[in-house]
Amino acid sequence: MNGNDTAMLVNLIVATWPTGPKGYIWTDVLAELDHGPALEAYRNLRDDSERAPSVARFKAEYRARQASTQPATVPDRCELCDGTGWIECLDERRHRTGCQERDTCFCHAVTPCRCRQ
């Protein structure tokens, strides 16, 4: 979550439950979370509870919201890198330092994949 989203959500939580944990505590907690599920967690707690939620209660609600927004099937492996984290590519720079025959050379080079691997 970026700084503006964090500050907005901290303000909402502190305004809704002024007797709960202080703003600086919420800032530390919320900074590491995703904005969408965190906002949904706030809305659910606001609508279902009159008492201020603890940080643990908020994180439990956040995890529940996060789980409900994830796709039902997550692919086991990336289609681009097959789970290795690397994609094969042609690297012209290797020809300058390595082999002498550009036309017949099949140098092997890799680049990092965009996936989480």
**Sign of the Cα pseudo-torsion (36, 42, 47, 49, in order):** positive
Single out the residue in 32, 47, 69 at which a domain terminates.
69
Q: Is the pLDDT of residue 65 over 90?
A: no
**pLDDT range class, residue 81, cuts 50, 70, 90:** confident
**What is the C-alpha to C-alpha distance for residues 11 and 2, in angstroms, rounded to an integer?**
14
Q: Are 78 and 115 in contact (CB under 8 A)?
A: yes
Claim to verify: residue 9 and residue 63 sit in the same structural domain: yes
pLDDT value of position 49:
82
For the segment 83-91, the average pLDDT, to the nearest whole number, is: 73
* Average pLDDT across the chain, whole number: 80
Domain with 19, as residue range(s), is 3-69
Claim to verify: residue 117 and residue 83 sit in the same structural domain: yes
The CA-CA-CA angle for residues 4, 9, 13, to 5°, reads: 150
**pLDDT range class, residue 14, cuts 50, 70, 90:** very high
Q: Is the pLDDT of residue 40 over 70?
A: yes
Claim to verify: residue 10 and residue 62 sit in the same structural domain: yes
Q: How far is CA 72 from CA 67, 68, 75, in A?
A: 9, 9, 10
Claim to verify: residue 64 and residue 82 sit in the same structural domain: no
